[in-house]
A and B are shown apart, each in its own frame.
Chain A
Amino acid sequence: MDLKEKFFEILPEVEKPGRYSGGEWNSPDLKKPVKGDMCFCFPDLYEIGMSNLGIQILYEIVNDQKDFRAERCFAPGLDLAKKLKENDIPLLSIESKKPLKDFTVVGFSVGFELLYSNILYMLDLARIPFFAKERDESYPIVIAGGPCSVNPEPFKLFFDAIVCGEGEEVDLEILKIVTEGKRLKLKKREILEKLKALEGVYVPELYREGERVKKAVIEDFEHAPSLRRPLVPTIESVHDRATLELYRGCASGCRFCQAGFWYRPIREKSADACFDQAVSMLKSTGFSELSLCSLSTSDYSHLEELEGRLNEFCDEHRVYLALPSLRISSFKPGMVDKSRRSSLTFAPEAGTQRLRNVINKNVSEEEIDKISVAFEAGYDSVKLYFMMGLPTETDEDIRGIAEIVRRLQGIYKSLRGGRIPNISVSCAVFIPKPCTPFQWEAQISFDEMRRKQNFLRGLLSKIKGVNFSWHGAETSVLEAALARGDERLCAVIVEAYRLGARFDGWTEHFKWDVWQKAFENCGLTMQEYTRERAESEPLAWDFIDSGVTKAYLLLERHKSREGVTTKNCREGCNGCGALSRGRCTVL
Chain B
Amino acid sequence: MKTVKFAKLDSFTFISHIDMLRHMTRILRRAEIPVKRSNGFNPHALVFFSPPLVLGARSFAEYVSIDTDMPLEELLARFSASAPDGMKVIRGFEEDKNPNLQGKIVASDYVFDAPYSPINIEKFEISYQKKGETVNEDVSSKLFCAWEREGKLAMRLATGNTNLRPDRILSELNARLGASLRVTDIEKIAQYVEIEGKLVDVDEYLTTIEMI
Residues of A in contact with B (beta carbons under 8 Å apart)? 8-9, 11-12, 17-18, 20-25, 27, 232, 234-236, 240, 283-288, 317
Contact pick for B26, options A21, A27, A286, CB 8 Å: A286
Contact pick for B29, options A9, A235, A288, CB 8 Å: A288
Count how many chain B residues have C-beta atoms less than 8 Å from C-beta atoms of the other chain. Answer: 26
Contact A286 B28 (CB under 8 A): yes
Tell me the minimal C-beta distance from B146 to chain A in angstroms.
23
Contact pick for A21, options B13, B82, B183, CB 8 Å: B13
Contact A18 B27 (CB under 8 A): no
Contact pick for A23, options B10, B16, B25, B56, CB 8 Å: B10
B-side contacts of A18, CB under 8 Å? 14-16, 19
Give 20 new A-B contacts, CB below 8 A, not counting A12-B56, A240-B22, A286-B30. Answer: A11-B14, A11-B184, A12-B182, A12-B184, A17-B14, A18-B15, A20-B14, A21-B10, A21-B12, A23-B10, A23-B84, A23-B85, A24-B84, A25-B30, A27-B84, A234-B11, A234-B19, A285-B26, A286-B27, A288-B25
Is residue B46 contacting chain A, with contact meaning CB distance below 8 A?
no
Residues of B in contact with A (beta carbons under 8 Å apart)? 10-16, 19, 22-23, 25-30, 55-56, 82, 84-86, 167, 182-184
Query: Given A234-B15, A286-B28, does the pair A17, B55 have CB atoms closer than 8 Å?
Result: yes
Contact A286 B29 (CB under 8 A): yes
A-side contacts of B25, CB under 8 Å? 286, 288
Contact B183 A12 (CB under 8 A): yes
B-side contacts of A234, CB under 8 Å? 11-12, 14-15, 19, 23
Tell me the minimal C-beta distance from B2 to chain A in angstroms.
18
Contact A9 B182 (CB under 8 A): yes
Query: Given A9-B182, A11-B56, A12-B55, does the pair A25, B26 have CB atoms closer than 8 Å?
Result: yes
B-side contacts of A286, CB under 8 Å? 25-30, 82
Tell me the minimal C-beta distance from A330 to chain B in angstroms.
32
Q: A284 — nearest CB in chain B belongs to which residue? A: B30
Tell me the minimal C-beta distance from A287 to chain B in angstroms.
7
- Which of A8, A232, A234, A287: most chain B CB closer than 10 A? A234
Give the complex CA separation of A283 and B15 in angstroms: 23
- Which of B11, B25, B85: most chain A CB closer than 10 A? B11
A-side contacts of B55, CB under 8 Å? 12, 17
Q: A22 — nearest CB in chain B belongs to which residue? A: B11
B-side contacts of A9, CB under 8 Å? 182, 184
Tell me the minimal C-beta distance from A53 to chain B in angstroms.
19
A-B contact pairs, 7 of them (CB 8 A): A12-B167, A17-B14, A20-B14, A23-B12, A286-B26, A286-B30, A287-B29
Q: Which 5 A-B pairs have the closest CB atoms?
A: A23-B11, A286-B26, A286-B29, A12-B56, A21-B11
Q: B16 — nearest CB in chain A belongs to which residue? A: A18
Contact B84 A25 (CB under 8 A): yes
Give the complex CA separation of A232 and B10 in angstroms: 17
Contact B30 A21 (CB under 8 A): no
Tell me the minimal C-beta distance from A87 to chain B in angstroms.
13
Q: A232 — nearest CB in chain B belongs to which residue? A: B26
